[in-house]
Amino acid sequence: MDLDVLVDESYFSALFDYDEVFPISDVNYASELHLQEALFSSLIASAAKINNHPQIQRSFTTVIKQEPVVKIENEPLEPSRRLCMICMDEKPSSDMFRGSVTCTHAYCTQCTIRYVANKIKENSAKIKCPDVDCTRSIEPYMCRDLIPKDVFERWEKILCESLISSWDKLYCPFKDCSSVMILDDVGGNNANVTQTECPSCHRMFCAQCKVAWHVGVGCEESQRYGNTKKKSSDEEDALLVQMATNKQWRRCPSCKFYVEKVDGCMHIKCRCGFQFCYGCGSVWASNHACQIRT
């Protein structure tokens, strides 16, 4: 604190300004001077106390130098309820879900769960936003805690398979397994490898014939004459074909796997990614109009 300023403003102004207007006597002047000296001594003592207490001094300075308060307008709050464009119901904002940080479309949790689960049933690896004009995809990690664990694990499997081209993958020939495997060094030194073990069911099969492993028999001989296991496999295949015919199953024109339509339209997307019509078996097109109803 500047004591000189205090002296200039308090002491001398009180001492000289007053008698410029009203002349005073010597007695009054002496009394007034004595009073001003007492005030000045008290002011100096108060300033010394403030200097000996930094916290008081900081508080004193803070009060003096406090900036005027600027009023900030409140930002608009998110509405408490929002409209889900799938079920067309108003839901609490806390129940709305966005599938991507870059997507602005939000849908209620229940509709999102059903939508994602249906897409996974269709073997869709990339699930886009439900909005028809949006090209953003739903991120798997954002709905991990929403959908059931077994459904999410199936989605993970589909995603892994989608990263492998059709030329580099092989399916286990055993019908109760059908696990996908990667063909290493396709067309290279390992192109003639036959005996292979499925990493899932740990059963042996021939990678060339795509049947159960024919022990002691070459591929050509096995295909020409067959053996006990192959005959058994052929019998099973015959039973499968008969069952597929009776139940009106369709065979994928690409990977030859049988597909059963439980419900929905005729548009089928196979696990291999090929799309075809379940009614006539032809390649699916946006303008396809099948006359066959199953």
Is residue 266 within 8 A of residue 279, CB to CB? The reply is yes
pLDDT (0 to 100) of residue 289: 77
More confident residue, 247 or 116: 116
Q: Which of 25-39, 42-56, 163-177, 194-208 has the highest mean pLDDT?
A: 194-208
Q: Does residue 124 surpass a pLDDT of 80?
A: yes
Is residue 247 within 8 A of residue 270, CB to CB? The reply is no
The rounded distance, in Å, linking the Cα atoms of 265 and 252 is 16
Is residue 117 within 8 A of residue 264, CB to CB? The reply is no
Q: Give, in words, the CATH class of 81-162.
A: alpha beta
Token pair for 193: 């490898």
Which residue, 114, 113, 118, 116, is CA-closest to 262? 118
Instruction: Name residue, tokens 């005027």.
Output: 68
Average pLDDT, the chain: 73
Region 254-269 average pLDDT: 82
Region 269-294 average pLDDT: 80
Report the Cα 8 to chain-centroid distance in Å. 70
Band (35; pLDDT cuts 50, 70, 90) = low
78-82 contact pairs (CB < 8 A, 24+): 82/106
pLDDT digits (tens, 9 = 90+) for 156-172: 888 887 777 656 778 88
Q: Which amino acid is at 66?
A: Q
Band (31; pLDDT cuts 50, 70, 90) = low
pLDDT (0 to 100) of residue 211: 82
Q: Does residue 241 surpass a pLDDT of 70?
A: yes
Band (61; pLDDT cuts 50, 70, 90) = very low
Helices 13-21, 26-52: inter-axial angle, 10-degree rounding = 150
Which residue, 237, 247, 244, is CA-closest to 211? 237
More confident residue, 118 or 236: 118
pLDDT (0 to 100) of residue 70: 47
The rounded distance, in Å, linking the Cα atoms of 164 and 159 is 9
Region 40-69 average pLDDT: 50
pLDDT (0 to 100) of residue 142: 86
pLDDT digits (tens, 9 = 90+) for 171-229: 888 888 888 887 765 555 555 667 888 888 888 888 888 888 877 777 777 676 554 44
The rounded distance, in Å, linking the Cα atoms of 270 and 259 is 8
Give 112-142 as a 3 state SS string. HHHHHHHHHHCCCCCCECCCCCCCCECCHHH
pLDDT (0 to 100) of residue 115: 92
Band (25; pLDDT cuts 50, 70, 90) = low
Q: Does residue 149 surpass a pLDDT of 60?
A: yes
Percent of the chain with pLDDT over 70: 61
Where are the domains positioned within the chain? 3-59, 81-162, 165-246, 247-294
More confident residue, 6 or 261: 261
pLDDT (0 to 100) of residue 63: 41
Band (234; pLDDT cuts 50, 70, 90) = low
pLDDT (0 to 100) of residue 286: 79
C-alpha atoms less than 13 angstroms from C-alpha of 99 in its C-beta half-sphere: 23
